[in-house]
A and B are shown apart, each in its own frame.
Chain A
Amino acid sequence: MTELEKPTTSRFLDYAPAPESTSILHLKPSYGLFIDGEFVDGHGESFRTISPATEKTIAEISNADSSDVDVAVAAARSAYTRTWSTLSGADRGKYLFRIARLVQERARELAVAESLDNGKPIKESRDVDIPLVAAWFFYYAGWADKLDYAGLGPNPRSLGVAAQVIPWNFPLLMLAWKVAPALAAGNTVVIKPAETTPLSALIFAEILQQADLPAGVVNIITGAGDTGEALVNHPDVNKVAFTGSTAVGRAIAKSVAGTGKKVTLELGGKAANIVFDDAPIDQAIEGIVNGIFFNQGHVCCAGSRLLVQENIHEEVVDRLKSRLMTLRLGDPLDKNTDIGAINSREQLDRIRELSDIGEKEGADRWTAPCDIPEKGFWFAPTIFDNVSTSSTIAREEVFGPVLSVLTFRTPAEAIAKANNTPYGLSAGIWSDKGSKILAVADGLRAGVIWANTFNRFDPASPFGGFKESGYGREGGRHGLAAYLESAGWASPQEISNTSSSSRKKATS
C-alpha cells in the first residue's frame, strides 16, 4: 500500500482559478416581501443576507411580521377564490410551463445567486439545483389538466391556501418542490424561504412577474422562525408543507393538531449507505463521496452512516481517504470547487460540536488535508472510523461533511443496523447481486433507496420518509396528491346497501 499523502508540488492539479462571473447578477441593494404580485416592505426589522464564503453582505432583506403574514395569506386567499381556482387546469399548466422556461432562460443567473447566498459549489447549483428547478415546474405543469389521474378519483379538489416553509440547503429547489405541485393542483401559496438563503426566491419572484402569473397566486415572505410559525399557524391556511429539522417538524405537527390542515413534512435523516463486499467498488467510493459530501453534507437524505461489510472495511476506508484528497474546498463560485462553504456560523458551530463529541466518544477522526480560507465558514471533509452504533454521531443528524463508518457482517445485520434509528428517509445499497439488493431494499425502513447510486432526484420520483423523517411525499403523482383531496370514489354499493333480504346464501 502506498502512503496517503497529498502531492506537495503540483503544476496542474491545483487548477488555476476558474471563477464564474457574477456580472450576470443584477442584485438590488434591498428586497421587500413579494405579496400580491408586488414587492412591499415588511413590518419586522429587516436583516442582511450574507455570503457564507466571505461573510460579506449581499442584500438587505425585509422581515415579515404577523401582520405581513396576514396580508400575504389574505392575498393568497383572494387569488385562490377569484382567480386561480376559476382557471382551467390547462391554463394553470401554461403558467407553470412559462415559469419552467423562464427558469431555464435565467438558469446561470439563478445558479450564481444560489452559490453566492448558500455557499454551495457553482457546479452543483449549475448542474443539479437549477436544472431540477426547471424540471420540477415542467413536470407539474403537465399534471395541471390531468388531476383526474392523480389517484384520488374523479374531480379531486384543491385544498386552498398552502403555507410552505423551506430550508436553506437547496433554497430554490425546495421552493420548486413546494410551489410547482401546489399550483398544478389549483392551490395558491404563501412560502417562506430560509432566513439565510432568501436571494434566489426573490429573483424567482421577478420571474413570476415576467410570467405574468396572476397576483397573489404565489406570495414570498422572508423572515426567521417566528415568521414561519405565524404562517403555518395562520387560521386561513388549508395546507402546511414544511422541509427542515425534525424538531421543528414535530412542533408544527403539534401546532396544527386538530385544525384539519393537511400536512406534509420532510424532516431529518441519518441514512445508511450499505456497501457489500461484492460492490462495484470504484462506483461505491464515488457514491459514498457523493452521498455525504454533496452540498457539504447539508442534505437531509445524506448517506451519513457508511455501513461497510467487515471484510472490506480497511480497503474501503483507505480508498475513500485517497479519493477525499482530490476534493477541492474553496470559493463556491469557482467552477472546480467540490466542497463549498458551510451555510452559516450557527451550522458550522453545530458541526464542530458534534464532531468534537464524536472524537470524545472514541471514534477515529480523519480530516482531508484542505487549505481553509480565512474568511467564511468552512469544514473540511471528515471521516469518523470505528464508530459504534451507540455513538452520538451515528445517531444524530450532523448536516455537514462528516461521515461515520460502521461495519456489519451479514445482510441481516446490515438491515438491522440501517433501521436502528428513529429516522427513515433514505438509504443506499452497493452490490453487484440483484437478488440481494432487492431483498435488502425490502427490509429497509426508508422512503428512498438508492441501489448502486446515491442522491439522485427527479420530479417524477416520490421523495419522503418513514418514521420521524416525516410524512407525505414530494415528487411524482404522490407529490401532487399531497395538494389535493378526493371528492369521493363511486362507493362500493354492495357493501353500504347490503340488506339481509337481498343476500343470497351460498348453495352448499
Chain B
Amino acid sequence: MNVTTQGLPAQAIQAKALAPAERALSMIGGDLTEKSLRLHLEGLAGVDAVGLEQRAAALGTRSIKTTSKAWALDTIIELIDLTTLEGADTPGKVRSLVAKAVNPDPSDATTPRVAAVCVYGDMVPHAVSALGGAWSGGTDSGINVAAVATAFPSGRASLAVKIADTSEAVASGADEIDMVIDRGAFLSGNFGLVFDQIVAVKEACRRSDGSFAHLKVILETGELNTYDNVRRASWLAILAGGDFIKTSTGKVSPAATLPVTLLMLEVVRDWHRLTGERIGVKPAGGIRTSKDAIKYLVTVAETVGEEWLTPHLFRFGASSLLNDVLLQRQKMTTGRYSGPDYVTMD
C-alpha cells in the first residue's frame, strides 16, 4: 500500500495488518488492522470548537502573581527546547544557541538551563560538541539534543529516507527525535500508513545499546485543521508509540495555540486515566511571551496536573520566548522593567 488509498478496494485496505505496536495492541486488541484502527479513532468523542476555545480562554485569564510567577518563569526556562531550524543554520549559529542554552542569563547565575536544544539532524554533532559537559548524553541531568527528522517539515519523502534521517541523527547523539507525520496520508484517511511510519521511526530511534531516543511526534495541527483531526492524530501517535505529541513544526501557521494544546493535554489525560502511562506534550511555534507561556503552564496544571510540569512531560518549542522570560525575571529581581539590550541575542 502506497501513499494513496484511492482506487483500492476498501476491504483490501481495511484488512491490512498494522505494525504490532505494543500500546495499540493492548488498547485495540490483537486484531490490529487498518480497519480496527480506523474504528477506534472514529469512535473517539467529538470536539466542540466553541467550547474548547472558551475553556482555553478561561484558563488564559488566570492571574499568576509574585511567588507563583517567579516559579513559573523558572519553570518555563527549564521546559524550553531552544530551537534553531533555519536553512541558514551553521555550526557557529548552533554553538551560539548552545551557549545561550547553557547560560541563558550571564548576569544571573541562578537562572536555570533549558531542557534541550533543537536543531536539524546534520547539526547534531555540532550541538553535542558545543554542549560538552553540559550534554545530558542520555542521562537525566544536563541538556538534551533534539533533532528534527523524517524530512522535516513537510515529511514528503519515502519511508526509507525518513528512517535514514532518524537513525543518522540518533547515531550522532540526538537524545530526542522530533518527527513529522504524513499529513497528506492522515487527511486522506490513510491512518494505517501514518501509524506504520511512526512505528518504523520509533524503531529507528533505537540506539546500539537497545535504549531509545525519545520520540516526539509532530502532528502539524495547522494542517490537520479540525479539532476532531487533532484528537484522532494525537491518539494515533500515542498508540503507535510516541513519547511526546507535539503541535507544530513552526513552519506552518497557525502553529501552537492554546486550544490545540489544551485538546492534546486532554488526550494525554485520558490516556493516563486508561493506562496509567504519562505522555508528554510539546506546543511549538508562536509562543513568544512569558505571559503566553504562563497560560500554557496553567493549562497543563489544571488539565493533567502539576506533575506534568517537568521536562519529561512538557516542553515549549521556542526561540524568542527565552529572552522575554529573562526580561521578566530581571524585572522580578530588580523591581524595574528591563530592555532587550540587557539579554543576549541567542
Judged by CB atoms under 8 Å, the answer to whether A and B touch is yes
Bound CA–CA A10/B305 (angstroms) = 10
Cβ of B110 < 8 Å from any Cβ of A?
no
Minimum CB distance partner of B297 in chain A: A12
Q: When chains A and B are docked, how far (Å) is the Cα of A282 from the Cα of B56?
A: 12
* B-contact bits for A254-295, CB 8 A (1 contact / 0 none): 000000000000000000000000111111001100000000
Distance in angstroms from B77 CB to nearest chain A CB is 14
Q: How far is it, in angstroms, between the C-alpha of A313 and the C-alpha of B301 when the chains are bound?
A: 26
Q: How far is the CA of A432 from the CA of B272 in the complex (A)?
A: 25
Question: Is the C-beta of A495 less than 8 angstroms from some C-beta in chain B?
Answer: no
A12-B68, A12-B297, A280-B45 given as contacts; is B52 within 8 A of A336 (CB)? Answer: no
Closest A residue to B54 by beta carbon equals: A286
Residue-wise, chain A 478-496 has the 8 Å CB interface mask toward B (1 for contact) of 0000000000000000000
B309 interface residue, CB < 8 Å from A? yes
Chain B residues closer than 8 Å to A16, beta-carbon distance? 64-69
B62 within 8 A of A: yes
Q: Is A13 an interface residue (CB 8 A)?
A: yes
12 additional A-B pairs beyond A12-B68, A432-B46, A453-B50, beta carbons within 8 Å, are: A2-B273, A12-B72, A16-B65, A18-B65, A278-B45, A280-B45, A280-B51, A282-B47, A326-B302, A336-B63, A432-B45, A432-B48
Q: How far is the CA of A95 from the CA of B63 in the complex (A)?
A: 36
B209 touches A (CB below 8 Å)? no
Separation of A254 and B266 alpha carbons in the complex (Å): 52
Question: A-side interface residues toward B, CB under 8 Å?
Answer: 1-2, 7, 10-18, 123, 127, 278-283, 286-287, 326, 335-336, 432, 452-453
Asked if B306 and A452 make an inter-chain contact with CB atoms under 8 angstroms apart, the answer reads no
Q: A283 touching B51 by the CB < 8 A rule? A: yes
B75 interface contact, C-beta 8 A: yes
Q: Does B55 contact A (CB under 8 A)?
A: yes
Q: A286 — which chain B residues lie within 8 A by C-beta?
A: 51, 54-55
B51 touches A453 (CB 8 A): yes
Chain A minimum-CB-distance residue to B263: A282
Collect the chain B residues with CB atoms within 8 Å of residue A281's CB: 45
B295 CB to nearest A CB, Å:
13
A to B CB contacts below 8 Å, 6 in the list:
A15-B68, A18-B64, A123-B61, A279-B45, A283-B50, A287-B51
- On whether the beta carbons of B55 and A13 are closer than 8 Å, the reply is no
Contact B52 A282, beta carbon cutoff 8 Å: yes
B212 to chain A, nearest CB (A): 26
Complexed CA–CA distance, A453 and B48 (Å): 9
Known contacts A12-B309, A16-B65; decide if A1 and B273 are in contact (CB<8 Å): yes
Complex Cα distance A281/B48, Å?
9
Residues A7 and B305 in contact, CB atoms below 8 Å apart: yes
CB neighbours (8 Å) of B302 from chain A are 13, 326
Contact, CB under 8 Å: B52 / A11 = no
The CA-CA distance from A323 to B302 in the complex, in Å, is: 8
A283/B48 in contact, CB under 8 A: yes
Return chain A residues, CB-CB under 8 Å to B266: 282
Contact yes or no, B63 A283, CB < 8 A = no
Docked CA distance A280–B226 (Å): 14
Q: Which one of B45, B54, B297 has the greatest number of beta carbons of chain A within 10 Å?
A: B45
CA distance A2 to B54 in the complex (A): 27
Chain A residues near B75 (CB, 8 Å)?
12
| Cβ–Cβ < 8 Å partners of A282 in chain B | 45, 47, 51-52, 55, 263, 266
Within 8 Å by CB of B301, from A13, A278, A452, lies A13
Q: How far is the CA of A335 from the CA of B65 in the complex (A)?
A: 10
Instruction: Give chain B's interface residue range (CB within 8 Å of chain A).
Output: 20 to 34
Is B9 positioned at the interface, with any CB of A under 8 Å from its CB? no
Residues from chain A with a CB closer than 8 A to the CB of B48 are: 280, 283, 432, 452-453
Question: Given the complex, which residues of A lie within 8 Å of B64, measured CB to CB?
Answer: 15-16, 18
Tell me how far the C-beta of B51 lies from the nearest C-beta in chain A, rounded to whole angstroms.
3
Which residues of the partner chain A approach B309 to less than 8 Å between Cβ atoms? 12
CB interface residues, B 63-89, toward A, < 8 Å: 63-69, 71-72, 75
Q: Are B306 and A12 in contact (CB under 8 A)?
A: yes
Cα separation A68 to B305 with both chains bound (whole Å): 57
* Residue B341 at the chain A interface, CB threshold 8 Å: no
Closest A residue to B50 using CB positions: A453
Q: Please, which residues of chain B bring their CB within 8 A of the CB of A11?
A: 71, 306
**B316, chain A: closest CB distance, angstroms:** 15
> Is the beta-carbon distance between B65 and A452 smaller than 8 angstroms?
no
A152 vs B272: C-alpha distance in the bound complex, in angstroms? 59
Minimum distance in angstroms from B60 CB to a CB of chain A: 11
Q: How far apart are A278's CB and chain B's nearest CB, in angstroms?
A: 7
How far is it, in angstroms, between the C-alpha of A172 and the C-alpha of B66 when the chains are bound?
Answer: 33
User: Which residues in A have their C-beta under 8 angstroms from that of B50?
Assistant: 283, 452-453
- Residues of chain B with a CB closer than 8 A to A123's CB: 61
Which B residues are CB-close (under 8 A) to A279? 45-46
| Residue of B with least CB distance to A433 | B46
For residue B140, CB closer than 8 A to chain A, the reply is no
The CA-CA distance from A17 to B273 in the complex, in Å, is: 31
B297 touches A15 (CB 8 A): no
- Is the C-beta of B276 less than 8 angstroms from some C-beta in chain A? yes
Cα A247 to Cα B263 in complex, Å, equals 44
A428 to chain B, nearest CB (A): 12
Cα A336 to Cα B64 in complex, Å, equals: 9
CA distance A14 to B302 in the complex (A): 11
Bound together, the chains give a CA A123 to CA B72 distance in angstroms of 22
Minimal beta-carbon separation of A494 from chain B (angstroms):
49
Question: Residue of A at shortest CB range from B307?
Answer: A7
Closest residue of B by beta carbon distance from A18? B63
- Nearest-neighbour CB distance to chain B for A85, whole angstroms, equals 43
Q: Chain B CB within 10 Å — which of A16, A127, A335 has the most? A: A16
User: Which of B52, B61, B306 interacts with A10 by CB under 8 Å?
Assistant: B306
Closest chain-A Cβ to B72's Cβ sits at a distance in Å of 7
State whether A2 touches B272 (Cβ < 8 A). Answer: yes
Residue interface bits B200-217, CB-to-A below 8 A is 1, else 0 = 000000000000000000
Q: Identify the closest chain B residue to A327 (Cβ).
A: B302
Return chain A residues, CB-CB under 8 Å to B69.
16
Task: Tell me the residues in window 270-323 of chain B with beta carbons closer than 8 Å to chain A beta carbons.
Answer: 272-274, 276, 297, 301-302, 305-307, 309
CB distance from B300 to the nearest CB of A (A): 9
- A7 contacts which of B55, B61, B306 (Cβ < 8 Å)? B306
Nearest CB of B to A66, in Å:
46
Interchain CB contact under 8 A, B65 and A15:
yes
Q: Which residue of B lies closest to A282 (CB)?
A: B266
Cβ contacts under 8 Å, A453 to chain B = 48, 50-51
Docked Cα-Cα span, A326 to B46, in Å, equals: 23
Across the interface, do B55 and A283 meet the contact criterion of CB distance under 8 Å? yes
Interface residues of B in 137-169 (CB under 8 A from A): none
**Across-interface contacts of B67 in A (CB, < 8 A):** 16
Interface residue from A2, A280, A335, A432 paired with B61 (Cβ < 8 Å):
A335
- Interface flags for B166-192 (1: CB within 8 Å of A; 0: not) read 000000000000000000000000000
Chain A residues near B63 (CB, 8 Å)?
15, 18, 335-336
Give chain B residues whose Cβ lies under 8 Å from the Cβ of A17. 65
